[in-house]
A and B are shown apart, each in its own frame.
Chain A
Amino acid sequence: EAQVTQNPRYLITVTGKKLTVTCSQNMNHEYMSWYRQDPGLGLRQIYYSMNVEVTDKGDVPEGYKVSRKEKRNFPLILESPSPNQTSLYFCASSLSLGGRYNEQFFGPGTRLTVL
């Protein structure tokens, strides 16, 4: 089944404790992206990747890191989480960006709480 998976789905952590949220897609998509969803703000892009070893900042990159060492994986790293990073996080992928096949497929989401 074609899908985007994220782990963990739920995470409660404390300020300053490094964490990684994994994202994996099995559709051989080139483009992957991370969003955070907050009430009243919609989805805001954190980082995106056009292909392996190619990443770039989105609208709200502060406090986050990403890497794209393999085409299928795009982990989101919070080196020192803070309470303002409490949010619902979505990973998404698409075959390309800007072309006809640019529909983004979303993962199930990771609800993160930073105490």
Chain B
Amino acid sequence: AQSVSQHNHHVILSEAASLELGCNYSYGGTVNLFWYVQYPGQHLQLLLKYFSGDPLVKGIKGFEAEFIKSKFSFNLRKPSVQWSDTAEYFCAVNAKAGTALIFGKGTTLSVSS
């Protein structure tokens, strides 16, 4: 069965620090990969997704993620975080064969100003 692992449960950073959130998945076939963000009290919103092509994907608000197939990873990065990036971040994967979207357990990011 597919699974998604997010390495960090809670990350605390100061403004302007760089961010990298880890995500690994377990599925040997072709996958679609997503990062969603959930701001406090709000619903999930798509940050970025990888479907095919360039493994470096750019999303909204200055976020990017790199798909490394050999490592089954899809890590999220941002060069300089802002206080407004405080949120919970979810990595999600689904196989292109048309199975359900599987979410990681989430990483809470707290950014202090």
Question: B91: shortest Cβ distance to chain A, in Å?
Answer: 9
Query: Which A residues, 24 to 82, have Cβ-Cβ distances below 8 Å to chain B?
Result: 33, 35, 40-45, 48, 58
Q: Say if the beta carbon of A11 comes within 8 Å of chain B.
A: no
Residues of chain B contacted by A92 (CB below 8 angstroms): 44
Residues of chain B contacted by A40 (CB below 8 angstroms): 9, 105
Q: Which of B43, B46, B51, B96 contacts A107 (CB 8 A)?
A: B43
Complex Cα distance, B44 from A33, in Å, reads 14
- The residues of B with any CB-CB pair to A shorter than 8 Å are 9, 32, 34, 36, 42-46, 49, 51, 90, 94-106
Number of interface residues of A (CB under 8 A): 23
Closest to A38 in B: B105
5 A-B pairs with CB atoms under 8 Å apart are A98-B96, A103-B34, A106-B36, A106-B44, A109-B43
Q: Which of B42, B90, B95 contacts A98 (CB 8 A)?
A: B95
Known: A40-B105, A98-B95, A106-B45. 6 other contacts (CB 8 A): A42-B104, A45-B100, A98-B96, A98-B97, A102-B101, A106-B44
Closest to A6 in B: B43
Complex Cα distance, B90 from A104, in Å, reads 13
Given contacts A98-B96, A102-B32, A102-B94, whether A42 and B43 have CB atoms under 8 Å apart is: no
Q: Which of B42, B95, B101, B106 contacts A104 (CB 8 A)?
A: B101
